[in-house]
Structure 1
Amino acid sequence: MEQQNYQYQENSVFVQENAVSKKFFANVFTWMFVALAISTLAAYFINSSLEAQSYLINPLTGGRTTLGTVAMFAPLALVLIMGAGFSRLSYGVLVGVFILFASLLGISLSYILVVYQLGSVVGCFAAAAGIFGIMAVLGYTTDVDLSKFGPILMVGLVGLIIASVVNWFLQSAQFDYIMSFFGVALFTALTAYDVQKIKRIGLGIEANGDQIVAVDSKKLAIMSALTLYLDFLNIFLFLLRIFGGRK
């Protein structure tokens, strides 16, 4: 009888932890879709208003204005703030910074709708969503430990960043084209890697009702959503650089 009670309690704990993991995972994707929706609406609003566009793009030269340059680099600064201040920022502040990040990113992405044909943008967005979805399912369901590929992926990411900075000065279209293929491959792999990592984070969260743990899990969901959002965004942008038709 005692053994049966022990097995019952053990199964109950497993079910509880599994439910907590699924709830955490659902929160991550909910926040990711919220950010995606905010960015899309912001980009659409800027693109549909010539007056708003004039604040970001100089009508005479077609180049970015000072405000447009700020809008382009501000999301990166906010990502750094969220990462560095994770332990110090409250959940409410973190949510506010996350929403601000998504809004400013949408504003900076509105430039895409000015440069590329709408059909190309929609097509690349759909392709990115398909790739992201497949790799997310793969990362969640696979029994292969993807963590061993982490160092390789991080080296690839650093290499891509360095190559992008170098090409910023070289302005080589051919080099940019080659990097775009590498970028798609890299962030496709990172999607599966990050999803499995997020799944393990969810499994590691203790459902003990402690307030600190509850707050931390919510903050972790925000940061995890940010990671997946950046994976999807980079797949989309690199696909657009390869297949996008310019106006």
Structure 2
Amino acid sequence: MDNNNNYDWAQKSVFVQPQTGVVAKKFFANVFLWMFVALSLSTFSAYFMSANAEFSSFLRNPETLRPTTLGWIATFAPLGLVLLMSAGLNRLSYGALVGVFVLYSVLTGLSLSFILLVYTSTSVLSCFIGAAGIFGIMAIMGYTTNIDLSKFGPILMIGVVGLIIASVVNMFIQSANFSLFMAFIGIAIFTALTAYDVQKLKRIGEGLEANGAQMDADTKKLAIMGALSLYLDFLNIFIYLLRIFGDRR
């Protein structure tokens, strides 16, 4: 799930520093509302799939837990939907973007349902709470800090690309120690990305306010893309915490 969340949509916004007004606050509230919707849909679909052995068998072999053909499709489909939302932002209507975002959230939950079969419920809940705590602290820091975090963006993106390449390599070498090392690096990168993305979204909202924008369809589409960015940050923190601290059944 090491998805690159450096979207082109962010580059089209004006980064200025006016006082936060109504539009900026509504934009920021919409971002977190859609992020909550995505997490809720993913959690529900993951629980539903793991709790129904008959449905779960369509995605994974009950004995080996290896993905079936349909399981591989469910695993890689969310990545395709992320690319669709990012590349087709200007062409997709607001309703279509919402539909793709909802579908992405559900499919991500389905693809991660095996987590509830591999790890104990206690460790999954503990890591989820831990991820929420880390995310919350870094979100507050990103929103309140006066330090310009934009200069760290390229470095963090390089780190994400490095994680993706390392993950592909480890699919062949199957090294547990290397996987554990990447988990620690992944937590560090996506923890920093959380603060970076929150500050970026705050400035986007302020830029919209300064330009006299309203909460129209285009602004709401930006909020959905912002929610996707934060959702990916949280999800990766959670998964990497689970790799380190999760207790297997």
TM-score, normalised by the number of residues in structure 1: 0.90
Write out per-residue CA displacement over residues 26-84 of structure 1, whole angstroms, 9 at most, x where no aligned residue. 00000000000000110111111111111111224432111111111111110011011
Gaps of 5+ in 2: 1-17
- Which residue number corresponds to residue 225 of structure 2? 223
- Which residue number corresponds to residue 111 of structure 1? 114
Measured in 2, the distance between the counterparts of 1:197 and 1:246 equals 37
Q: Answer yes or no: is 1:95 the counterpart of 2:108.
A: no
Write out per-residue CA displacement over residues 172-217 of structure 1, whole angstroms, 9 at most, x where no aligned residue. 111000000000000000000000000000001146466xx72211
Partner SS, residue 110 of structure 1 = coil
- Which residue number corresponds to residue 197 of structure 2? 194
**Sequence identity (%):** 65
Amino acid in structure 1 at the alignment position of 2:222 = L
Query: Relative CO higher for 1 or 2, CA cutoff 8 Å, sep ≥ 6?
Result: 2
Amino acid in structure 1 at the alignment position of 2:148 = D
Partner SS, residue 163 of structure 2 = helix
Amino acid in structure 2 at the alignment position of 1:223 = M
4+ residue segments displaced more than 6 Å: none
Amino acid in structure 1 at the alignment position of 2:107 = L
- Which residue number corresponds to residue 237 of structure 1? 239
Amino acid in structure 2 at the alignment position of 1:153 = L
Gaps of 5+ in 1: 1-13
Measured in 2, the distance between the counterparts of 1:152 and 1:63 equals 34
Measured in 2, the distance between the counterparts of 1:208 and 1:199 equals 16
Aligned pairs for 1:155-194 within 5 A: 155-194=158-197
Measured in 2, the distance between the counterparts of 1:63 and 1:134 equals 36
- Match of residue 27, structure 1, among 18, 26, 30: 30
- Match of residue 147, structure 1, among 150, 154, 162: 150
What's the Cα RMSD here? 1.4
Q: Say whether the 8 Å CA contact 2:119–2:248 is kept in structure 1.
A: yes
TM-score, normalised by the number of residues in structure 2: 0.89
Q: Answer yes or no: is 1:84 the counterpart of 2:84.
A: no
Measured in 1, the distance between the counterparts of 2:64 and 2:41 equals 29
Measured in 2, the distance between the counterparts of 1:196 and 1:34 equals 21
